[in-house]
Amino acid sequence: MTGKRAVGSVSVQDLRHYRGGREILRGITLEIEPGSVAAVVGPNGAGKSTLLKVISGYLRPRSGTVRVGGMDPASLHPSERSRLVTYCGDEPEPAFAFSVEETVEMGNPERARESGPAFLEAALDALDITDLRYRTITSLSSGERQRVFLARAVYQDPLVFLLDEPTTHLDMAYEVQVVDMIESLAGRLGKTVVTVVHDLNLAMRCAARLFFLKDGALRYCVTPQEVTSEIIGDIYGVDAQVVEHPVAGTPVVMRPSGRRGFIPGE
């Protein structure tokens, strides 16, 4: 939120990761341009969250390389890594009753001392939680906590945002607000955003490229305009149609009536 154009490319080469002897990520190679929004999509168990955690440096791969802004996040000191990349995903139930304001400031403790209140106010406003600032994090609903954790990521102000299902627990109004925030991070501030999204229509709205994972492998890398019913059938095993939205003109995934299956996000 500094207004300065950020340079945060993401490069993954032949990435493999195992858990309990099982291969979770299978030779994934992908490139994400700085200042763009990319969506990682696919069925449950495809390896989407694991991929984001490996890119963040939270997990080390068995083999392959990860570069964020030309650097290996896993090899960096935590303070240096925090300026490069943030991972925002499932959070455990809060153990301490910190205020919302304190929780957001934990994203970048140095900024609280150096930049004054303006940056904090902007982060709170971005997720519409200014009125919650003095509430304790333990008193909030799941959706409210989700917005607080997203505000903390915004306050951290890294080059690359890794958002794991950022619209989980949110109602429609706040879901739209988060999508607008993602578009602003990339379009106005030049940040790179990689997000796991289950709703394909939401992914096609906000992302320039979609990475379809299945069984730990990257099956397709396409633009929203290149998503086809064949791709959806291969990834999810359902019958679907991709049509043009009558107002926005963007691709929309629909399930034909009378056919089996469902479309994520319907």
CATH number at residue 190: 3.40.50.300
Number of domains within the chain: 1
Q: How confident is the model at residue 261 (pLDDT cuts 50, 70, 90)?
A: very low
Q: Is residue 152 part of a domain?
A: no
Q: Does the pLDDT of residue 7 top 60, yes or no?
A: yes
- Residue 159 tokens read as 């080059």
Q: Is residue 47 part of a domain?
A: yes
User: What does the pLDDT look like over 119-169, one tens digit per residue?
Assistant: 899 999 999 999 999 999 999 998 999 999 999 999 999 999 999 999 988
Q: Is residue 110 part of a domain?
A: no
Q: Does the pLDDT of residue 42 top 90, yes or no?
A: yes
User: What does the pLDDT look like over 69-127, one tens digit per residue?
Assistant: 999 999 999 989 999 999 998 777 777 889 999 999 999 887 767 766 888 999 999 99
pLDDT at 95: 75
Q: Is residue 216 part of a domain?
A: yes
Q: Is residue 41 part of a domain?
A: yes
Domain that holds residue 24: 10-92+157-254
Q: How confident is the model at residue 193 (pLDDT cuts 50, 70, 90)?
A: very high
Q: Is residue 242 part of a domain?
A: yes
Q: Is residue 112 part of a domain?
A: no
Q: Is residue 26 part of a domain?
A: yes
